Amino acid sequence: MALKIGRNDPCWCGSGMKYKKCHEAFDTKLEQLRQKGAAVPGHEIIKTPEQIAKIKESCKINIAVLDYVEEHIRPGISTEEINRWVHEETIKRGAIPAPLDYEGFPKSVCTSVDEVVCHGIPSDSQILKEGDIINVDVSTIYQGYFSDSSRMFCIGTVSPEKKKLVAVTKECVEIGISKVKPWDPIGNMGHAVHQHALDHGYSVVRQIGGHGIGLEFHEDPWVSYTSMENSGILMVPGMMFTIEPMVNMGRDAIWTDEKDGWTVRTEDGLPSAQWEVTVLVTDTGCDVICW
Ligand code: MF3
Ligand code: CO
């Protein structure tokens, strides 16, 4: 049994303020919405101001590592080279690459080229060539706090079709960000992302989505980018999650390579793109804390 928190007790969020001056009104609102049938988050995924500060430190490293990749990526390098950069640039900053050994993942970063949707494994034998598009997905653990973001890179001159896929996928994320409003259901965000992809004749992967993040690599909620409006958990201040749609040029169907257990590809072999940011829901909208 949980004891009800007293109004003059310190708030559960760790702000040091009295509950009545801090999250009491927030909890009342959540409870009222829950009673009206809304799916509401538990306190365990609402970040405290201290946690937010720590997670943002982790994000800074994640961003710096991706900036390094952005400056150095070019035709002729292997995806293993990207893995070395990510590993070294992360360690140098006192952090740990989250993918390494995560559920057996063998490398420090995911590198997904062309028809690879996600979770591509860097390799010495995979050389980037003119015309490739690649997603580099970096995740960092710093002092126990997690961050996660990914970017697309066009290698040399890329076909107009692939360039457009990359650009529209980025727009999908930007539209998703604009739909993160406190107390709205998260389905509104996913629906807008999906709609933009559909408007361009693309599809969005259904089986793999985004996630809460911060104290763990993958926390609740699971986040869909093919959701219905007015569905899903409410986005409330202090929640953090990723916006990372995988947008396919052709059909949404995907398959996972049984040989390595990780590499996810499009079934039709057509290219797929993904950008990933992490957002913190605020009182007015959201902060993009990792990109
Ligand atoms: N970074 C991926 C994400 O956005 C997770 C990759 S898990 C790994 O959730 F093990 F493949 F790295
Ligand atoms: Co992610």
Whole-angstrom distance, CA of residue 253 vs CA of residue 159: 23
CA 262 to each of CA 106, 112, 247: distance values in angstroms, whole numbers, following the listed order: 10, 11, 18
Mutate to test the pocket of ligand 1, among 102, 135, 150, 207 (most ligand atoms within 8 A of CB): 102
CA of 149 to the centre of ligand 2 (A): 6
Q: Are 109 and 83 within 8 A, CB to CB?
A: yes
If one counts every other C-beta atom within 10 angstroms of the C-beta of residue 76, the result is 11
CA of 232 to the centre of ligand 1 (A): 23
**Tally: H helices and E strands in the chain:** 5, 15
- Specify the ligand 1 atom closest to the Cα of 109: 12
- Say what angle helices 187-199 and 160-178 make with each other, to 10 degrees: 160
List pLDDT tens digits, range 76-101.
999 999 999 999 999 999 999 999 99
Least Cα distance to 242 among 226, 218, 216 occurs for 218
One DSSP character per residue, 217-268 reads SSEEEEE-SSPPTT-SPBP-TT-EEEE--EEESS-S-EEE-TTTS--EEETT
Whole-angstrom distance, CA of residue 73 vs CA of residue 176: 27
Output the tens digit of pLDDT for each of the chain's 291 residues. Answer: 456 789 999 999 988 999 999 999 999 999 999 999 999 999 999 999 999 999 999 999 999 999 999 999 999 999 999 999 999 999 999 999 999 999 999 999 999 999 999 999 999 999 999 999 999 999 999 999 999 999 999 999 999 999 999 999 999 999 999 999 999 999 999 999 999 999 999 999 999 999 999 999 999 999 999 999 999 999 999 999 999 999 999 999 999 999 999 999 999 999 999 999 999 999 999 999 999
pLDDT score of 229: 98
CA of 277 to the centre of ligand 2 (A): 8
CA of 36 to the centre of ligand 2 (A): 31
Structure tokens of 8? 């003059």
Mutate to test the pocket of ligand 1, among 217, 241, 243, 256 (most ligand atoms within 8 A of CB): 217
Q: Output the residue whose Cα is nearest ligand 1's atom 11.
A: 119
Q: Output the residue whose Cα is nearest ligand 1's atom 10.
A: 99
Ligand 1 site residues (CB inside 6 A) read 99, 102-103, 105, 110, 119, 137, 139, 148, 211, 242, 244, 276
